[in-house]
Amino acid sequence: MQMRSRFRSDRRLTVRMTVTLFLLGLLYVAFVAALIVLLKSWVLVVVVAAGMLGAQYWFSDRVALFAMRGRVVEREEYPELHAVVDRLCAIADLPKPVVAVSELGMPNAFATGRSPDHAVVCVTTGLLRRLEPAELEGVLAHELSHVAHKDVAVITVASFLGVIAGLIVRFAFYSQVFGGGRRDQNTAAVFAAVMGVSAAVYALSFLMIRALSRYRELAADRAAAQLTGRPSALASALTKVSGDIARIPTKDLRTAQAFNAFYFTPALGAEPGAARLFSTHPSLEQRLDQLGRISAELGEAATPGRAG
């Protein structure tokens, strides 16, 4: 069988990313316009919104690493990890991203960055301790496919709108609390309107991001399985990581849950309940079913010993 030299493009993913960005762009313009009307200060709204969008785009990788206690590691410190990334990048004809490790015990991995030339792939020490080499290769191929498809940049920009909506709610709240003598009936009406607009914007962006995020995870699984030629290794990693995360107390996952959209598998507790309805990822069963079909298509069972 001929080895694929690049991550396979996914037109359906590209269409979904384009539509999501277009709809979020319209929502963003409407949001800013509504805030200008309500707050009567277009300079403040535009400057704050543009500044935060720029910061989100340019510094998202640093923010994610800081939040998840990740640090950049050199080849001398993690030679095997670097070797796997080097090999996958060579096969995929992809620029090598910055390699980082998080000291978290939770087994997981994520990719972030604004482009393939400015990307970071980070794995936790919990993941490194649990996975076999072939499983680790599958996870890293999954994360590199996010970089190759550029959906990391899209999800970063897409998540910005919900962030700023939440910040505007806080700004309006503190303005109301500390507004002193300006707290009259008109101020209360503006406060309520800002809260309502922000809540609506957050809800719409939340739903659009979840829909895109679930599909992009399936696309990354497909691309990784096709690149390595070993869907079963990725399936094994998914099963192992999901099972281990389910045993971690929910209170220990709360910080990580803010970054679920970027993770290899979501940081959900043992009983996620209704949270699955709004999950950033498809179910484990759905992902395993897809990998099983790809395994059959590649004839992997007939050549179980071949290397990725």
What is 230-244 written as a DSSP string?
-HHHHHHHHHHHHHH
Cβ count within 10 A of residue 269: 18
217 annotated to bind ligand: yes
**82 labeled part of a ligand binding site:** no
Report the half-sphere exposure of 36 (CA within 13 A, side-chain side).
12
Residue 254 CB-half CA count within 13 A: 3
User: Residue 271 catalytic?
Assistant: no
Report which residue type is found at 290: Q
Dihedral of CA atoms 278, 14, 50, 174 in degrees, nearest 10, equals 0
Here the tokens at position 303 are: 């050549």
Tokens at residue 230, please? Answer: 């070993």
**E-assigned strand segments in the chain:** 70-72, 98-102, 109-115, 118-124
Choice among 135, 137, 143, 300 that is catalytic: 143
**In angstroms, rounded to a whole number, what is the distance separating the alpha carbons of residues 208 and 122?**
26
The verdict on whether residue 297 carries a ligand-binding annotation is no
Token pair in block for residue 253: 């996952």
> 138 and 225 in contact (C-beta within 8 Å)?
yes
> Which residues fall in the annotated binding site for Zn(2+)?
142, 146, 217
> Which residues fall in the annotated binding site?
142, 146, 217
Q: Which residues are catalytic?
A: 143
